[in-house]
C-alpha cells in the first residue's frame, strides 16, 4: 500500500495542508509540538478509523472549528483509491467515504491502508501495565479482522452499561434484575474476542520468535503466551464452550462484583507475557532485552498484516529510531527496506539519506 498524498483540514493543529509522499521512506522533521505525531495520527486514522491517542473523535478537530477532514489518495489492491473522513466537533457522527461512496463502518475500508505504528512507549510495552499491551494487540487485530473490531466495540458498550448498573444498584436495587441479561451477552461477545485473540497471539508469537532469533543470533528463545480468564482452559475451544467458561466464572464472581461495584473479570483484563528462554521479561528482563523483544513484536505485527493483505502495511515510526542504539537502529532499518515508511524525528541526522524529508512547523509544511 502506498499513501500518495494527504489533505488535512482543521485536523489537530493543521488548518489546511496538502502533502505528497514517496513510496519509500518519508522523514517528517520538526521541533517539538509542531505537528509530527498529529500527522502520523491522521495517516493511521485514515487507514483504520481509530486514533492511537484520542479518546473522542472530536479531540482531533482543530480547536474552534466545527468540523475537520482527513483525505488521502492511496495505491492499494492494484488500483488508485480515495479515503476520506469528516469529523465533527460536537456529537454528530463522523462520515467515512471510500472512492466517493459513503460507508457506514470503518470495517468497510479494511485493507485499503493498513498501518503499523511504532513509538517509544511501545519499547517498554512488555514492562508496563496490561492495558497498553491490550491496546497494542487490538490496534492490529481490529485492522486485520473487521468483525473483531465490531465485537470489541460491542463488548466495550455492554461493559460500560454493566458498570453503570453495578454503580447505580445501591440506589436502585431493581437494576440487579437485568444484570444476568447483560452478563450473558457480555460472555457471548467476550468469547468471540478470546477466540480471535488466541489465534492472533499464536501467529504473532511465532513471527516475533523468528525476528527475535535473527536479532539475538539465535541465543534466546522467544515465547509469547496469551493470558485470559482463568476458567478458560483452552482459548482455541469453540465459542460456545468459551461462552460457558466465561459464564461460570462470572457466576462465581457475582457477589464480589455487586459488592465492589466493578466488572472484575472478563477479557477486558486479558494480557500476554513474553519469556526469553523461559524467563519472564516483565519481571526479569533487562532494558536491552525488553527493547529487542518489543522490536521483534512490532516487526511481527507488520509481517502478519503484510501476509493478510498481500502488500506491506504502511509503517509509522514516531520518534522511535532516535531512541535506539545504532545496532538496534540498523536492525530495524534493514528489516524495512521494502514498503512505505513514515519516520518522525526532531533532528534528521543520519536518517536524512533514507528518503524524502518533509519539514513541519506550526502545523504547516516548511518550503
Ligand atoms: P514532539 O516532538 O514533542 O513529539 P510533535 O511535533 O509530535 O511534537 P504533536 O503531538 O503532533 O507534536 O502536537 C503538536 C501540537 O498540536 C500540540 O502543541 C498540541 O497542543 C496541538 N494540538 C493537539 N490537538 C489539537 C487540536 N484539536 N487543535 C489544535 N491544536 C491541537
Ligand atoms: Mg510527537
**Ligand of minimum distance to the alpha carbon of 317:** 2
| Structural contact between residues 81 and 73, judged by C-beta atoms closer than 8 angstroms | yes
Residue nearest atom 10 of ligand 1, based on CA coordinates: 37
Hey, which residues does 28 pair with through a beta bridge?
344, 358
Residue 218 has pLDDT above 90, yes or no: no
In ligand 1, the atom with minimum distance to the C-alpha of 31 is 2
User: Distance (Å, rounded) from C-alpha 200 to C-alpha 137?
Assistant: 9
Evaluate if residue 336 carries a pLDDT over 90.
no
Q: Tell me what the pLDDT averaged over the chain comes to.
A: 94
Which ligand sits closest to the CA of 12? 1
Question: Of 141, 140, 135, 110, which is closest to residue 47 (Cα–Cα)?
Answer: 110
Would you say 158 and 182 are in contact if contact means Cβ atoms under 8 Å apart? yes
Q: What are phi and psi of 229, to 5 degrees?
A: -50, 135
- As a whole number of angstroms, the distance between CA 9 and CA 286 comes to 44
How many angstroms separate the CA atoms of 227 and 246, rounded? 14
Asked whether the predicted pLDDT for residue 54 surpasses 80, the reply is yes
Whether pLDDT at 322 is above 80: yes
For residue 38, the ligand 1 atom closest to its alpha carbon is 11
Regarding the beta carbon of 129 and ligand 1, being less than 6 Å apart is answered: no
Closest residue by Cα to atom 25, ligand 1, is 12
- Measure the CA–CA gap between 99 and 113, rounded to whole angstroms: 13
Residue 35 Cα: closest atom of ligand 1: 11
* DSSP assignment string, 231-285: T-S-TTS-HHHHHHHHHHHHHHTHHHHHHHTS--SSGGG-EEEEEETTEEHHHH-
Please report which ligand is nearest the Cα atom of 119: 2
All three cell numbers of 229: 480468564
pLDDT tens string 180-196:
999 999 999 999 999 99
SS3 24: coil
Helix (H) / strand (E) element for 117: namely strand 115-118
- Ligand 1, atom nearest to 53 Cα: 10
Q: Rounded distance, CA 182 to CA 204, Å? A: 32
Taking the CA of residue 40 as reference, the ligand 1 atom at the shortest distance is 11
Which residue, judged by its Cα, is nearest atom 15 of ligand 1?
Answer: 33
- Is the C-beta atom of 362 inside 6 A of ligand 1? no
Q: Is 62 in the pocket of ligand 1 (CB under 6 A)?
A: yes
Closest atom of ligand 1 to CA, residue 346? 2
**Mean pLDDT calculated for residue range 214-219:** 87
The label of the residue with cell 474552534 reads: 64
Ligand 1 contact via 33 beta carbon (within 6 Å): yes
How many angstroms separate the alpha carbon of residue 36 from the centre of ligand 2? 5
Give the residue-averaged pLDDT of 121-132: 93
- Give the model confidence (pLDDT) of 144-182 as tens digits: 999 999 999 999 999 999 999 999 999 999 999 999 999
Q: What is the mean pLDDT of residues 263-288?
A: 95
Res. 258: pLDDT tops 90: yes
Is the model's pLDDT at 236 over the cut of 90? yes
Percent of the residues in the chain that have a pLDDT greater than 90, as a whole number:
89
CB 61, CB 87: distance < 8 Å? yes
pLDDT in tens, 31-46: 999 999 999 999 999 9
Cβ of residue 35 lying under 6 Å from some atom of ligand 1: yes
Q: Is 254 exposed, middle or buried (0-12, 13-18, 19+ CB in 10 A)?
A: middle
* Cα(39)–Cα(256) distance, integer angstroms: 45
Evaluate whether 309 touches 1 at the Cβ level (below 8 Å). yes
Residue 281 in contact with residue 275, Cβ under 8 Å? Answer: yes
Nearest to 112 by CA among 310, 335, 341: 310
68 lines ligand 1 (CB under 6 A): no
Range in 21-25, 260-264, 328-332 with the lowest mean pLDDT: 328-332
Q: By alpha-carbon position, which residue is closest to atom 3 of ligand 1?
A: 32
Cα(33) to ligand 2 centroid in Å equals 7
Distance 31 CA to ligand 1 centre (A): 11
Q: How far is the CA of 32 from the centre of ligand 2 (A)?
A: 7
Torsional sign, CA 345, 350, 351, 357: positive
Cell of 193: 474476542
Q: Is ligand 1 within 6 A of the CB of residue 34?
A: yes
Confidence of residue 348 (pLDDT cuts 50, 70, 90): confident
Question: Is the confidence at residue 217, as pLDDT, over 90?
Answer: no
Helix (H, G, I), strand (E, B) or coil at 108: helix
Chain center to CA of 113: 14
Over residues 210-235, the mean pLDDT reads 94
Q: How much is the pLDDT for 349? A: 75
Cα separation values, 158 from 75, 154, 183, 266, Å? 38, 6, 9, 12
- Ligand 2 geometric centre to CA of 300 (Å): 24
Whole-number Å distance between alpha carbons of 207 and 304: 8
Assess contact for 108 and 48: CB atoms under 8 A: no
Angstrom distance (rounded) from CA 118 to CA 298: 7
Amino acid at each position: 500500500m502506498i499513501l500518495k498524498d494527504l489533505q488535512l483540514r482543521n485536523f489537530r493543529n493543521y488548518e489546511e495542508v496538502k502533502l505528497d509522499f514517496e513510496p519509500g521512506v518519508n522523514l517528517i522533521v520538526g521541533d517539538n509540538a509542531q505537528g509530527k505525531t498529529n500527522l502520523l495520527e491522521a495517516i493511521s486514522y485514515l487507514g483504520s478509523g481509530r486514533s492511537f491517542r484520542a479518546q473522542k473523535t472530536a479531540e482531533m478537530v482543530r480547536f474552534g472549528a466545527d468540523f475537520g477532514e482527513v483525505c488521502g489518495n492511496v495505491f492499494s489492491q492494484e488500483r488508485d483509491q480515495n479515503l476520506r473522513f469528516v469529523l465533527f466537533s460536537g456529537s454528530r457522527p463522523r462520515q467515512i467515504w471510500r472512492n466517493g461512496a459513503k460507508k457506514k463502518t470503518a470495517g468497510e475500508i479494511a485493507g485499503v491502508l493498513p498501518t503499523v505504528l511504532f513509538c517509544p512507549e511501545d519499547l517498554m510495552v512488555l514492562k508496563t501495565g496490561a492495558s497498553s499491551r491490550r491496546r497494542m494487540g487490538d490496534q492490529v487485530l481490529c485492522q486485520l479482522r473487521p468483525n473483531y473490531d465490531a465485537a470489541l466495540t460491542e463488548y466495550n458498550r455492554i461493559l460500560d452499561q454493566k458498570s453503570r448498573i453495578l454503580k447505580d444498584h445501591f440506589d436502585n436495587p431493581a437494576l440487579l434484575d437485568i444484570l444476568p441479561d447483560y452478563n450473558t451477552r457480555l460472555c457471548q461477545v467476550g468469547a468471540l474476542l478470546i477466540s480471535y485473540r488466541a489465534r492472533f497471539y499464536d501467529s504473532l508469537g511465532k513471527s516475533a520468535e523468528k525476528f527475535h532469533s535473527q536479532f539475538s543470533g539465535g541465543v534466546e528463545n522467544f515465547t509469547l503466551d496469551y493470558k485470559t480468564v482463568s476458567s478458560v482452559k483452552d482459548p482455541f475451544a469453540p465459542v460456545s464452550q468459551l461462552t460457558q467458561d466465561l459464564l461460570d466464572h462470572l457466576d462465581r464472581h457475582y457477589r464480589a462484583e455487586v459488592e465492589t461495584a466493578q466488572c472484575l473479570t472478563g477479557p477486558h483484563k486479558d494480557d500476554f507475557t513474553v519469556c526469553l528462554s523461559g524467563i519472564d521479561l516483565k519481571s526479569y528482563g533487562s532494558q536491552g532485552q525488553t527493547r529487542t523483544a518489543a522490536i521483534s513484536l512490532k516487526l511481527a505485527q507488520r509481517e502478519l498484516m503484510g501476509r493478510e493483505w498481500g502488500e506491506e502495511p504502511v509503517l509509522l515510526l514516531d520518534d522511535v529510531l532516535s531512541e535506539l542504539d545504532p545496532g538496534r537502529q540498523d536492525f530495524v532499518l534493514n528489516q524495512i527496506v521494502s514498503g512505505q515508511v513514515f519516520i518522525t524525528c526532531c533532528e534528521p541526522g543520519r536518517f536524512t539519506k533514507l528518503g524524502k524529508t518533509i519539514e513541519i512547523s506550526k502545523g504547516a509544511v516548511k518550503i
